[in-house]
């Protein structure tokens, strides 16, 4: 299986690296960067038609209620997302922080790099519960990290999207952690 970055063979977190288009300060899309710098991936991409990750894994997120963000992915045919690669954080933590995250069970798959893993095909929806420290409307940015692959042999590097959200005012006292 071709790897679109030196990412898929290890499970640990890696430092963030931003590649730029040569001669500019413009960020280089990780998918395009991997194709540009990996001859084996270039050969594989030439023989296969792989979707750009934003097309293979279409993300949407919205406030389900004052304390919950609903996240959804529409996953293209022949592609899948790893269940254990979802990570969430609140960029501007004023007013709320991540509580619990719930997803349905996925399908088990024997993965070349990660062994036996749980994955999602077609679509998946999860709920991110927030612990509010403010009652009013909260404007925040939710950072969402995920990773997926194409069945035809391409693993995408981890993808991080920043999604601005407006949570409606809560009706009761702020919900806080009991941990």
58-108 per-position pLDDT tens digit: 999 999 999 999 999 999 999 999 999 999 999 876 778 899 999 999 999
Q: Mean pLDDT across the stretch 117-142?
A: 93
> pLDDT by residue (tens digit) across 23-51?
555 555 555 555 554 555 555 555 568 99
Structural tokens at position 100? 């619990």
pTM attached to this predicted model = 0.71
Can you tell me the distance from the alpha carbon of 42 to that of 145, in angstroms, rounded to the nearest whole number? 25
DSSP letter at 83 equals G
Domains along the chain?
A: 57-166 (2.60.40.1250)
């Amino acid at each position: 299986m071709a790897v679109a970055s030196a990412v898929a063979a290890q499970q640990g977190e890696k430092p963030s690296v931003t590649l730029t288009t040569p001669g500019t300060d413009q960020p280089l899309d990780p998918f395009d960067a991997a194709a540009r710098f990996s001859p084996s991936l270039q050969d594989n991409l030439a023989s296969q038609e792989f979707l750009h990750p934003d097309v293979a894994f279409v993300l949407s997120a919205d406030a389900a209620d004052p304390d919950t963000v609903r996240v959804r992915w529409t996953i293209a045919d022949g592609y899948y997302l790893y269940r254990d690669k979802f990570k969430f954080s609140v960029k501007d933590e004023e007013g709320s922080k991540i509580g619990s995250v719930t997803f349905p069970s996925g399908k088990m798959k024997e993965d070349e790099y990660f062994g036996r893993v749980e994955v999602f095909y077609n679509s998946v929806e999860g709920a991110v519960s927030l612990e509010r420290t403010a009652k009013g409307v909260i404007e925040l940015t939710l950072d969402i990290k995920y990773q997926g692959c194409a069945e035809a042999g391409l693993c995408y590097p981890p993808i991080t999207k920043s999604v601005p959200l407006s949570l409606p005012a809560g009706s009761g006292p702020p919900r806080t952690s009991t941990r």
